[in-house]
Amino acid sequence: MDALPEIITLGDLNLDILFYLNRLPSKGGESLAPTLEVHPGGSAANVAVALSRLGLNVGFIGAVGNDVIGEFLLRNMESENVDVSLLARKKDYTGVMVIIVTRDGERTILGYRGANRLLSEKDIEEEYFKTIKYAFVSGYALLENPQKKAAYKMMKIAREKGAKILVDICEVLAGRTWSNLKKLLLLSDYLLMNEREFEMFIVDEKNISSIFEYGVEAIIVKRGGKGARTFTKQGVCDMPAFRVKAVDTTGAGDAFDAGFIYGIFRKYDMRRSLEIANALAAWKCKGRGARHLPKLKQLNNFLKKYSACKA
């Protein structure tokens, strides 16, 4: 990729090891998985790949270890045409997630974040942000230093460049008080979260107006099979989900985030952006692994079949 990216994501890059089981074993029990799959993963990395497949110019900032897994993930990101100029190498194992997927498509995760946590401010080069229009930060990148400091440095640079900033709120962040998250809220334009995180973070919908006082433009809530809901100063916007048979929900939230970013990058209105986000999430759920993601033509064919919308 020659041109500097217009969209930059920051967060984890992992190897996902997926076990497909009929049901979880009881405490102290054991189960033998009839199926095992290994895929690249990590929320911010998944978002970057999804956007690249839709034809956008994307960069990813993160860290891997000096190991075989790290090298594999680096080459994979390059093969997806994602710019990894600022992918750092650290003295720890590359992040690994063990994901257990049951017959209903739901997942249970056990992970080691490893090198991801060691991304530092020194790894963030301001020159890289010359052409940035949108920045995406995974909530997990805001949990502990030095990665947290690196994420905030990126957000500050993006803000100075006039870019819009999106943050996916993870459950740990959602449980913190607003006073502890003031810095985050002041640097965020869009907050994305699932229903559980929304309940923990907002507590009562009456509190939503207070969030907007920090400068946040919209709160986007991912509601799974119920679709999505967005809160803005103008009101509430609901968008139903697409009805598909879920094979694996791993990465569905990341796919949604990418679809929403694609919509606002293309200057679509809120409803259309939500519809594209729901479509991308639905497509992902039809296949295994977080990277079961469509090219733009495939997404448009899906939308043509289920909706009047076109990406």
Q: Is residue 2 a part of any domain in this protein?
A: no
Residue 310 has a pLDDT of 64
Q: Is residue 106 a part of any domain in this protein?
A: no
Q: What is the pLDDT of residues 263-285, one digit of tens each?
A: 999 999 999 999 999 999 999 99
Q: Is residue 23 a part of any domain in this protein?
A: no
Residue 107 has a pLDDT of 79
Residue 309 has a pLDDT of 62
Q: 240: cis peptide before it, omega within 30°?
A: no
Q: Is residue 163 a part of any domain in this protein?
A: yes
Q: Is residue 124 a part of any domain in this protein?
A: yes
Q: Is residue 280 a part of any domain in this protein?
A: yes
Cα separation, 297 vs 54, in Å, equals: 8
131-153 burial, b for 16+ CB within 10 Å, e for fewer? ebbbbbbbbbbbeeebbbbbbbb
Q: What is the DSSP letter of 222?
A: E
Q: Is residue 229 a part of any domain in this protein?
A: yes
Give me the number of domains the chain comprises. Answer: 1
Low-confidence stretches of the chain (pLDDT beneath 50): none
Cα separation, 221 vs 224, in Å, equals: 9
Residue 23 has a pLDDT of 86
The residue range of the domain holding 84 is 7-11+44-93+115-306
Pairing of strands 14-20, 35-41: antiparallel
Q: Is residue 238 a part of any domain in this protein?
A: yes
**Beta strand spans in 122-250 (E):** 134-138, 164-168, 190-194, 218-222, 228-232, 235-239
Q: What is the pLDDT of residues 38-49, one digit of tens each?
A: 999 999 999 999
211-239 burial, b for 16+ CB within 10 Å, e for fewer? beebebbbbbbbbbeebbbbbbeeeebeb
Q: What is the DSSP letter of 24?
A: P
pTM for the model stands at 0.94
The CATH number of whichever domain residue 74 belongs to comes to 3.40.1190.20
